């Protein structure tokens, strides 16, 4: 048995984790489980930016995975950055084991609009599928509806679907697991 491990980082709300645990197997045809993994957040926090270094966090996340772990998806409410970008919705290793997503900038309230939990969950799912797609070797897709289309703003996430286009889907299942 191999799993996509969903790893909460910081105070990730349980409903978000269980939503991903239920929905991701339908997409990837792989079982999911929620697995705790200790990370040192103080080591990746940048006080000047008041944000967390995504790549450094991802590096901690992939240390010593259990043998039955196929992929690791970190889920956090923390605000992520890498030095060349102001912020990130998520990050992943191309053809690697690890992916990371943040809900921080997926909340409507971040943009001064009343929160919408259902919309938040859909955005989170899209970003989780997108980042996991990278771990299965997919690169960015030009199809605006494809979940592998790149998203700079939250509006970009809303205009794409939660599905792979036909060519990305062919690619992901051809490369196999």
Of 21-29, 52-60, 108-116, 135-143, the window that binds Zn ion (rule: CB under 5 A) is: 135-143
CB 27 to Zn ion: min, Å: 13
Tokens representing residue 141 in the block: 């897709």
Comparing CB distances to Zn ion, the nearer of 27 and 148 is 148
Q: Estimate the crossing angle of helix 14-28 against helix 117-135, to 10 degrees.
A: 50
Rounded Cα–Cα distance for residues 44 and 57 (Å)? 6
In the sheet with 31-34, reading across from the earlier edge strand, the strands are: 31-34, 3-9, 69-76, 98-102, 90-92
Q: Which of residues 70-109 bind Zn ion (CB under 5 A)?
A: none
What is the spatial distance between Cα 44 and Cα 26, in angstroms, rounded to a whole number? 33
Length of the chain as a residue count: 177
DSSP-assigned beta bridge partners for residue 69: 3
Whole-number minimum distance, CB 145 to Zn ion, in Å? 8
Rank residues 7 and 165 by Cβ distance to Zn ion and give the closer one.
165
Nearest distance, CB of residue 114 and Zn ion, angstroms: 28
Minimum CB distance to Zn ion smaller for 122 or for 132: 132
4, 1, 5, 17: which is closest to 103 by C-alpha? 17
# chain residues binding Zn ion, by CB under 5 A: 6
Which residues are tagged catalytic? 131
Report the 10 Å Cβ neighbour count for 70: 18
- Residue 136 near residue 127 (C-beta atoms within 8 A): no
Please say which residue, 41 or 96, places its beta carbon nearer to Zn ion. 96
From the CB of 151, what's the least distance to Zn ion, in Å? 8
**Residues 136-175 interacting with Zn ion (rule: CB under 5 A):** 141, 143, 146, 148, 165, 168
| Site residues, Zn ion (CB under 5 A) | 141, 143, 146, 148, 165, 168
């Amino acid at each position: 048995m191999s799993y996509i491990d969903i790893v909460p980082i910081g105070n990730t709300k349980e409903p978000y984790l269980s939503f991903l645990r239920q929905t991701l197997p339908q997409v990837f045809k792989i079982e999911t489980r929620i697995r705790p993994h200790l990370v040192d957040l103080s080591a990746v926090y940048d006080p000047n930016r008041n944000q967390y270094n995504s790549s450094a966090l991802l590096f901690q996340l992939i240390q010593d995975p259990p043998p039955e772990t196929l992929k690791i998806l970190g889920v956090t409410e923390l605000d992520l950055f890498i030095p060349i970008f102001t912020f990130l919705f998520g990050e992943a290793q191309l053809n690697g084991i690890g992916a990371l997503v943040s809900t921080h900038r997926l909340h409507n309230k971040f943009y001064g609009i009343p929160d919408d939990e259902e919309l938040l969950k859909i955005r989170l799912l899209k970003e989780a599928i997108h980042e996991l797609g990278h771990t299965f070797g997919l690169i960015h897709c030009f199809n605006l509806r494809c979940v592998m289309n790149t998203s700079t703003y939250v509006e970009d996430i809303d205009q794409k679907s939660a599905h792979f286009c036909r060519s990305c889907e062919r690619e992901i299942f051809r490369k196999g697991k």
